Structure 1
Amino acid sequence: MQLPDGLGLLTYSTLVHAGDTWSQMRDSLATYVPEVKARVSPDEPFGVSLRLSGKAAGVLAADPDERASLGDLLDREDLFVYTVNAFPHGPFKGASVMERVYEPDWTTEERATYTCQVADVLADLTLRAGRPGLSPSIQTAPMAFAPKVGDEAYVSRFTSQVLRVVAHLADLEARTGVRVKLAIEPEPACYLETTPQTIAYFERLRDPRSVAELARVARLPLSEAEGALRRYLGVVFDMGHQAVGFEDVRASLIALTEAGVPVFKLQAAAALWVEDLDADVVPALREFTDTIYLSQTTLQQDGGRRSFLTLGEALDAYAGDLRPTELRTHFHVPVFLEEIGPFRTTRPAVQDALRLHRELPLSDHLEIETYTWDVLPEHLKTGSITDYVTRELEFVRQELNTSG
């Protein structure tokens, strides 16, 4: 939905629905999104965040009739696509995902080709929708799972692939008039995890060697290559990810802005937070360990921090070291909840970020990404998935209406 006062477009991620194949995603799109639109935007067009797996992107990129059919569906339901989640290339529902979610990583031809296919599909959908002022965005993985990045050569390989995609985006705009933006999403346990790491990597992308490489690949004058990087490459800022790392999200967003790193998508997400961990609540926390996703967890003890790939590993470590502990874990929970069972959520970080966005619009694309409905403990689910998504959208809209 279009927010007032230049605050951008707001939607929710269809990553919450089944969508590992194009037929699954199309069914989810036709089933759930119109229900949500009827509740939150009945009289205005509703923007969609479309999850496209590698298989789905390949189908749409290769078949103009299927793209036309998708365009017809969107038109009938008064919908338009303004962002695509192209982070998970492979399966994301129904079976263990864990660190496979980062594969293929950005060192591979497969990741670059997939991203270019998504860009081509987005440009075509934007033209079909007749929305020439729309600059759609692609959400992508934070380069690689950190344990895989062993040396400088690995970083150079994925940097070259990113530059190749930026070159494709520049050519795509020249051919179609549609500017598609690539947004990298920092995440715990990845090469890009913290805001300082992200800023440092963008500085590397803008150093003379990278700019010269882009100029060569894109066949651009050197004087235009750095501008192309700023025009087509930015970040997704996931409030939950940065809160898990104990970042001050307001300060992080200001730091990105001051460093000239564009926030192409501002993502409202909340994580599970235990301010004072004690042995009595550990059994209740263990209910959140039965998940197919990584649950990167940070323990803060005596001012120091330890990071773990899963909540279960963190709880095992705590059992052997019962000092006063604060815990935050990458388990997405509904953004409208301040508490979930006996625990808190990082909703205050979401509210801080939205307050800053109200004061200083940071991005034209906003999205809620709580994809864990299917793995929430059953006793914590209330209502349908449509109810849940609607409540999240209404919460964010209300926060933006009242912030400041």
Structure 2
Amino acid sequence: MHLSYCTNVHPAEDLDGVIAQLHAAAGPIRRAAGLDLLGVGLWLPAPLAARLANETAALARLRAALEEEGLEVRTLNAFPYEAFHADVVKLGVYSPDWTDPARLDYTIDAARVLAELLPPGGEGSISTLPLGWREGWDAAADRAATAALVSLGAELRAIRAETGRVIRLAIEPEPGCVLDDVADTVAWLDAHRQRIDLEHVGICLDTCHLAVSFADPRTEVERIASAGIRVVKVQASAALHVDRPGAPAARAAVAGYAEDRYLHQVRERAANGPIRVDDLPEALEVLPASAPWRVHFHVPLHVEPEPPLRATTEVLEAALDAVVAVQPVDQLHVDVETYTWSVLPGVDAEHPLDLVDGIAGELRWASARLAERQGQPA
């Protein structure tokens, strides 16, 4: 398995900014984590992806910076289109969706860039949104998204023929979207398998999203495998778990994670399936709070939140075990994706983050757990 961390945690959106972040953050993170080589799951905003796909000199600059810092690229995060660090992102992260030609163009640009950055013989992955946000989605939208993914499959086959590099798209189920969970995603891909190339399109298993759905990791991974679909990428992430959301201390603690930039979907466990709310402030107002909550807030993997909250790292570990059990993992990409460091409770201008130390700690944690599953010394 190939370990990386996702650079969508950094706000850079142009080439100079991305190269600067490689020198100021990714290289120092590699050294702090004690790794000879570190994978970076690059986030390239759409305008930058287009530039790199069309300017040889620009791509050469990026490649040189990666090599200088001992970094490799096997996966890209092409879920956020741009402006992922705007003051308010919320539902904007799902635009443009897969009905918009801009989404297809962006993903093709990302694939062409990745094909040039992969190491010899490497296979690459690109994670993307689960079609779009659910509201307003209809049969016409589904037809448009299907056609776009058919076109993408043809482009990925062309890249493979031209370069010998295999690039796969990893559709990432997320609460509240058209493809809300793994079951939705498997059913949709299975229904469209006569048109969509499942050799080049599979699933990104984000383990925070998996936890929020209260799904059993083994059951969901077996569901994917039984349908003949590939887990292309695992986004190693943890959600917030609240055992007793009605208790005053727990309520006060989880309320500290409500913030204005990102959407934090909440699910409350119930006998007939989770009760669903689209954002944490709404959940605090309307949910019964009579059973445990899971909150879509990516929390650091190696540091437990203060009680009475906890992180769902056990879901991440169970998901890795399940994937290892059902498919070859030599090309599986495991990307640590804690993009929320800047909005954690207590973080502000007077209390700046040490991202190098924090992400290096996550990578040490993840590296040890991957080594256990590959029979290597931790």
Q: Fold match, TM over 0.5?
A: yes
Task: Give the Cα–Cα distance (whole angstroms) in 1 for the partners of residues 183 and 135 of structure 2.
Answer: 19
Unaligned runs of 5+ in 1: 1-7, 212-228
The letter of the residue matching 1:60 is: L
Please state whether the residue corresponding to 1:180 is helix, strand or coil. strand
Q: Aligned runs of 1:217-232 on 2, under 5 Å? A: 229-232=197-200
Shift of 1:176: 1.5
Q: What is residue 279 of structure 2 aligned with on the other side? A: 310
AA paired with 1:346?
T
Partner of 1:137: 125
Query: What code does the residue aligned with 1:14 have?
Result: T
Q: Note if contact 2:202-2:231 (Cα within 8 Å) is conserved in structure 1.
A: yes
Q: Which secondary structure state, in structure 2, belongs to the residue aligned with residue 11 of structure 1?
A: strand
2:261 pairs with 1:292: yes
Cα distance in structure 1, aligned partners of 2:159 and 2:372: 39
Report the Cα distance in structure 2 between the residues aligned to 1:340 and 1:142, rounded to whole angstroms: 32
Give how far 1:19 is off.
Answer: 2.5
Instruction: Give the letter aligned to residue 352 of structure 1.
Output: A
Once residues 291 and 268 of structure 2 are traced to their aligned partners in structure 1, the CA distance between those partners, rounded to angstroms, is 6
Correspondence 1:2-401 to 2 at 5 A: 8-42=1-35, 44-126=36-118, 131-149=119-137, 151-207=138-194, 210=195, 229-280=197-248, 281-301=250-270, 304-318=273-287, 321=288, 324-360=290-326, 361-362=328-329, 364-378=332-346, 384-401=354-371
Deviations 1:141-175 (A, max 9, x none): 111101121x2121010010011011011111111
Distance 1:179 1:303, change over 3 A: closer
Q: What code does the residue aligned with 2:102 have?
A: E
Q: How far apart are the structure 1 equivalents of 2:241 and 2:268?
A: 10
User: Which amino acid in structure 2 is aligned with residue 137 of structure 1?
Assistant: S
Give me the CA root mean square deviation: 2.0
Contact 1:169 1:232 (8 Å CA) reproduced? yes
| TM-score, normalised by the number of residues in structure 1 | 0.86
Decide whether the 8 Å contact of 2:43 with 2:78 is kept in 1: yes
**Distance in structure 2 (CA, Å) of the matches to 1:382 and 1:275:** 30
Structure 1 177/303 Cα, relative in aligned 2: closer, same or farther at 3 Å?
closer
Letter in 2 for 1:67: L
Deviation of 1:266 after TM superposition, in Å, equals 1.1
Q: CA deviation at 1:386?
A: 1.1
Q: How far apart are 1:294 and its partner, in Å?
A: 0.5
Larger radius of gyration: 1
Identity level (%)? 33
The residue type paired with residue 40 of structure 2 is V
Kindly state the Cα deviation for residue 352 of structure 1 after the two structures are TM-superposed.
1.1
Q: 1:243 to 1:382 in 2, by over 3 A?
A: farther
Question: Per the alignment, in what secondary structure is the counterpart of residue 286 of structure 2?
Answer: helix
Contact 2:269 2:275 in 1 (8 A): yes
Task: State the shift of 1:62 in Å.
Answer: 2.4
Deviation of the 1:41 alpha carbon: 4.6
**1:268-288 deviation digits (Å, cap 9, x = unpaired):** 110111012224032222211
Look up the equivalent residue of 1:373 and give its one-letter code. Answer: W
Query: Which amino acid in 2 is paired with 1:152?
Result: A
What SS is found at the alignment partner of 1:106? Answer: coil
Alignment deviations for residues 319-365 of structure 1 (CA, whole Å, 9 cap, x no partner): xx46x221111011011234434301111111212333455555521
* Matched residue SS, 1:104: coil
Superposition deviation, residue 46 in structure 1: 2.3
1:22-75, Cα deviation, whole Å (9 max, x unpaired): 332222122111011113354x33222111111211221222111011111122
8 Å Cα contact 1:355-1:400 kept in structure 2: no
CA contact (8 A) 1:335 1:392 kept: yes
Q: Distance in 2 between matches of 1:352 and 1:325?
A: 23
* Contact 2:124–2:168 (Cα < 8 Å) also in 1: yes
> For the residues of structure 2 that align with 1:186 and 1:19, how far apart are their CA atoms?
26
